[in-house]
Amino acid sequence: MNANEPREQGAGGWSQFGDTPPSAGGFPRRDTVIMGPPAPPPPAPRKPGFTARQKAIAGLALAAMAIGGGAVGATVATAFQEPTAAASAPSSAFKSVSNNLSVSEVAEKVQPSVVMIKGATGEGSGVVLSADGLILTNNHVVVGAGQGGEMSVKFNDGKTAKASVVGTDPATDLAVIRAEGVSGLTAASLGDSDGLKVGDSVLALGSPLGLDGSVTMGIISALDRTLSVGGEQEQQVPPGWGEQRGQAREVTTIAGAIQTDAAINPGNSGGALVNASGQLVGINTAIATNGGSSGSIGVGFAIPINTAKHVADQLIGSGKVSHAFLGVSVTDATGDVPGALVRQVTAASPAEKAGLKQGDLITQIGGKAVDGGDTVVGQVRGFKPGQQVQITYMRDGKESSATVTLEEKK
């Protein structure tokens, strides 16, 4: 594997009311009993108030009761709000340090900035970058939607427009398109993906299975994932229900990906992953499942917006993206020490100039531990030409390090 190229890889009745359903607007009268006012209960002896510890335990018990009773709103309130009096009603607040927006408020804020991308052979999602029609999405969405004819976008208000490609970057699976003849669009507010933390609440917006305007909720499950996507045959789905039907995606390795448990399905690709403030923090890109069945469990991945913005700016400016070049071919290590085994070093490359040789075992690159060849490939793609990167490697049982000045890939 070249470090600068993709790496392959029924019957119930009215049990609550008896056999006869209730009349419209009321409950059955046949079981109604007229009762006089009950006698007042004897006064209860006054008990001492709760200590701080007892209050904390009581709060946990209330949360457990809410979860056991299936009160979703109560669990959301427990997760995102400070404890309040026991008599207060559950809330659906979607709270962060800087705001107190509800889930519906965040969705309402972001939905005008998320579009559905349609073509003759596939569908996907995209995020509006500018009022005059620039839209950020995945490269594989553009490839799928653009084959065999025109590509169009559908906006949140139901209006549609033809779209053309501004630029694509298969290496990062990102692309920018332009909706033609539009103005006054609502551009997404960009956040800072470097500030994300595991456990942060997020919403995923897009057009899963052709259902435009869909919103799902979850958390950041993990950060800085390296994954290889594409190469597999896409699952066959009914027309209008997916992003690509029966087509193999080009293999690419993505580093620094955001993992989330917010539901992401075919058609979500290119859509928005936003934080509790409604700021765009990622571009939904891939899912991993434990099988191909409809009941399989899956997790979603998104490209960090800081990476996506860097790529988008270049695509908008010149239509292409410059990538860093290291100059080694690597494969996964097979011994007890995890890493990437150098199979070949390109002559006159940055790797050769830094002293790397065939047979070296790369264990760290740019301060990140290397689990295998994918880590090296993904990390190099995340660096910029001219950037100096420290590489730690093993040679003949001894650990060494070298500083490599990356060059632009030709």
Condensed to tens digits (0 to 9), the pLDDT of residues 28-85 reads 443 333 444 555 555 555 444 444 433 333 333 323 333 333 333 333 333 333 334 3
pLDDT of residue 190: 96
pLDDT in tens, 210-234: 888 899 999 999 998 988 776 554 4
pLDDT in tens, 321-343: 999 999 999 999 987 889 999 99
pLDDT of residue 289: 74
What is the pLDDT averaged over residues 365-375?
91
pLDDT of residue 41: 58
Prediction pTM value: 0.69
Cβ neighbors of 31 (< 8 A, separation 6 or more) are 18
Cβ neighbors of 66 (< 8 A, separation 6 or more) are 74, 75, 78, 90
User: In which residue are the tokens 């650990």 written?
Assistant: 399
pLDDT at 291 over 90: no
| Residue 269 is a catalytic residue | yes
DSSP-derived pairing of the beta strands 214-229 and 201-206? antiparallel
Q: Which of 193, 228, 269, 329 is flagged as catalytic?
A: 269
Chain center to CA of 221:
10
pLDDT at 400 over 60: yes
DSSP-derived pairing of the beta strands 100-102 and 388-395? unpaired
pLDDT of residue 101: 82
What is the pLDDT averaged over residues 242-251?
51
Q: Looking at this protein, which amino acid is placed at residue 125?
A: S
Q: Which of 250-264, 267-281, 282-296 has the highest mean pLDDT?
A: 267-281
- Helices and strands in the chain: count of H runs, count of E runs: 7, 22
N residues, the chain: 410
Q: Which of 113, 125, 173, 374 is flagged as catalytic?
A: 173
| Residue 173 is a catalytic residue | yes
Q: Which of 19-23, 86-90, 116-120, 329-333 has the highest mean pLDDT?
A: 329-333
| Residue 140 is a catalytic residue | yes
What is the pLDDT averaged over residues 103-109?
93
pLDDT in tens, 178-191: 999 999 999 999 99
pLDDT in tens, 302-326: 999 999 999 999 999 999 899 999 9
pLDDT at 149 over 80: no
Percent of the chain with pLDDT over 90: 52
Who has greater pLDDT, 242 or 368? 368
The token pair at 97 is 């340090």
pLDDT of residue 166: 94
pLDDT band at 380 (very low <50, low <70, confident <90, very high): very high
Who has greater pLDDT, 367 or 88? 367
pLDDT of residue 58: 32
Which residues in 2-122 belong to E strands, given as ranges? 93-95, 100-102, 114-118
pLDDT in tens, 11-41: 444 334 344 444 444 434 433 334 445 555 5
Which residue, 254, 382, 393, 403, is CA-closest to 330?
A: 393
